[in-house]
A and B are shown apart, each in its own frame.
Chain A
């Protein structure tokens, strides 16, 4: 796995370049592939770009979509901002907890799902809204949410 990742990161550096501007696109691609930034990946990236690991960590940890802790394959982000809050986003969270047994900030034991709160997704008129990986879902009800999650369980 690790030697694989090392190769993968080297390929990403070939693709995006080894300049400072290349750092974020590389981090994003690593997260797409491995779901979060394991310390060993950050060490590799630092070596490729010839910057310190602390610098990579410092940059990555600034961004909420670049997970630095273990994270599931499917990341669910439920909007917690005011309009979705008014539209009962808590019911959506409860439905997810009921189905997957996790609360915001947690990951399922099989490493398949992580649940987070996030801020306004730009879909307030269709609230409550959530993002699963890159996919946006609006006008959620507890039932609809469960149906969507079931479809991800099979992936």
Chain B
């Protein structure tokens, strides 16, 4: 099988002198670097895709003496494991990326909020943090970094829930606005970025926006880590340029019998075989936090959908009705149709419910349940019914 995918090797490169790089940026100046970051087109790698340069600029310009930098390492999206790989293999780069954010925005304190499931990385991260804190002090920058562990709640990856959790409350998302950039941790302006985003900021500091922009497409600049799993000829974490089609992806990673690819985890979209050729992976097509789950024709799409709905039903924080009741009803609904307790037209009612949840839910969890639900029902209706 011809390999068409362009591979990049930037994220895990660790042969960088971070202190020297930091000195380079200090010479360049904060304003100039922010411009560079905006120019690079870097968008957050946690899923929502907010421009990172703009986020840092807002926090930098906010007139508050106390600010915070938070690294979102709560990675809980089913099928996503690239942040764990980064924290394991390139921990220094993440930590220096946070130090860079602190220098640019003027924050003196930062936290890595990491899911409890990754506690075995604790010692490694502590060592890397101590080293960074020591080295950055000699550059005249004061930045204190700490580790905070989650306690088993997917919704805490949502940035406002994450902040609630850090403050010692139930991890329930809050209304936006106010956004964390204005009123974040303890009410102070806060940068919340994904693990991979901090690494990308370091790459841009290293190679410059000009070089960085040569990778990817206009809407999806740079390279991206993909977590590949399921019915594949190879599984694992791969760094690829964005902008490829699902077909190109399947040609390289599929097992020759791929029926569907779930792009972006349980919150993402299910792409059926007939759409592989004209679906682009990236912000202009199907956006993704990096999860690519491959299903071959032996898999029941009913089981897959049911599994996702169990996940959402368990992980919904229960705070707002559309999501709390909606996830339950979708799950009960497809089970009832499968058991012939409801006619197959009931699926149309469920589709309307999923649509309502998209608009009436308070946070991204409830709003994205409909993505997988709708794309699976629309493309594999017969598998759900029979």
Binding site for B on A (CB under 8 A): 19-25, 27-28, 58-59, 62-66, 80-83, 85-86, 118-127, 131, 134-136
What is the minimal beta-carbon distance from A76 to any residue of chain B, in angstroms?
A: 13
Bound form: Cα–Cα A126–B235 in Å:
8
Q: Are A123 and B81 in contact (CB under 8 A)?
A: yes
B117's partner among A22, A63, A122, A125 (CB-CB below 8 A) is A122
CB contact under 8 A between A83 and B229, given known A21-B168, A119-B314, A125-B235: yes
Q: Are B171 and A63 in contact (CB under 8 A)?
A: yes
Q: Which residue of A lies closest to B118 (CB)?
A: A122
Which residues of B have CB within 8 Å of A86? 230-231, 295, 299
B315's partner among A24, A59, A119 (CB-CB below 8 A) is A119
Bound form: Cα–Cα A72–B151 in Å:
17
CB contact under 8 A between A122 and B169, given known A81-B311, A136-B117: no
Q: Count of chain B residues with Cβ under 8 Å from any Cβ of A?
A: 52
Q: Any chain A CB within 8 A of the CB of B304? A: yes
What is the minimal beta-carbon distance from B110 to any residue of chain A, in angstroms?
A: 15
Which residues of B have CB within 8 Å of A121? 117
In the complex, the 8 A-B pairs of residues with the closest C-beta atoms, listed nearest first: A65-B152, A63-B151, A125-B235, A64-B152, A23-B168, A124-B229, A62-B170, A122-B81
What is the minimal beta-carbon distance from A47 to any residue of chain B, in angstroms?
A: 16
Q: Any chain A CB within 8 A of the CB of B116? A: yes
Q: Any chain A CB within 8 A of the CB of B80? A: yes
Central interface residue in A120, A121, A131, A136, by most chain B CB within 10 Å: A120
Q: Are B236 and A125 in contact (CB under 8 A)?
A: yes
Q: Are A64 and B75 in contact (CB under 8 A)?
A: no
B78's partner among A20, A66, A81 (CB-CB below 8 A) is A81
Q: Are B236 and A131 in contact (CB under 8 A)?
A: no
Q: Mark B288-330, 1 if CB is under 8 A from A, else 0.
A: 0000010100010001100110110011010000000000000
Bound form: Cα–Cα A85–B302 in Å:
13
A120's partner among B79, B166, B172, B304 (CB-CB below 8 A) is B79
Q: Are B307 and A81 in contact (CB under 8 A)?
A: yes
Segment 166-181 of B: residues with Cβ below 8 Å from A: 166-172
Bound form: Cα–Cα A134–B266 in Å:
25
Bound form: Cα–Cα A82–B79 in Å:
8
Bound form: Cα–Cα A83–B235 in Å:
11
Q: Is the interface of B mostly helix, strand, loop or mixed?
A: mixed
Q: Any chain A CB within 8 A of the CB of B212? A: no
What is the minimal beta-carbon distance from A140 to any residue of chain B, in angstroms?
A: 15
Bound form: Cα–Cα A64–B314 in Å:
10
Q: Any chain A CB within 8 A of the CB of B59? A: no
Bound form: Cα–Cα A23–B149 in Å:
12
Which residues of A have CB within 8 Å of B230? 83, 86, 124
Binding site for A on B (CB under 8 A): 75-81, 83-84, 115-120, 148-154, 165-172, 186, 227-231, 235-237, 266, 293, 295, 299, 303-304, 307-308, 310-311, 314-315, 317
Which residues of A have CB within 8 Å of B76? 119-120, 122
B293's partner among A22, A82, A123 (CB-CB below 8 A) is A82
Which residues of A have CB within 8 Å of B172? 62
Bound form: Cα–Cα A155–B227 in Å:
35
What is the minimal beta-carbon distance from A37 to any residue of chain B, in angstroms?
A: 11
Other 18 A-B pairs with CB < 8 A, given A119-B311, A122-B80: A20-B167, A24-B148, A24-B151, A25-B148, A25-B149, A28-B151, A59-B170, A65-B151, A80-B310, A81-B266, A82-B308, A85-B307, A120-B78, A122-B76, A122-B81, A122-B117, A124-B235, A127-B229
6 contacts between A and B (CB under 8 A): A20-B167, A21-B166, A24-B149, A59-B168, A83-B78, A126-B235
Bound form: Cα–Cα A140–B227 in Å:
19
Central interface residue in B117, B172, B237, by most chain A CB within 10 Å: B117
Q: Are A64 and B168 in contact (CB under 8 A)?
A: no
Q: Which residue of A lies closest to B85 (CB)?
A: A122
CB contact under 8 A between A125 and B152, given known A83-B78, A119-B314, A120-B79: no
What is the minimal beta-carbon distance from A91 to any residue of chain B, in angstroms?
A: 16
What is the minimal beta-carbon distance from B224 to any residue of chain A, in angstroms?
A: 17
Which residues of A have CB within 8 Å of B228? 125
Bound form: Cα–Cα A127–B79 in Å:
11
CB contact under 8 A between A124 and B166, given known A65-B151, A81-B311, A83-B293: no
Central interface residue in A25, A58, A122, A131, by most chain B CB within 10 Å: A122
Bound form: Cα–Cα A3–B148 in Å:
28
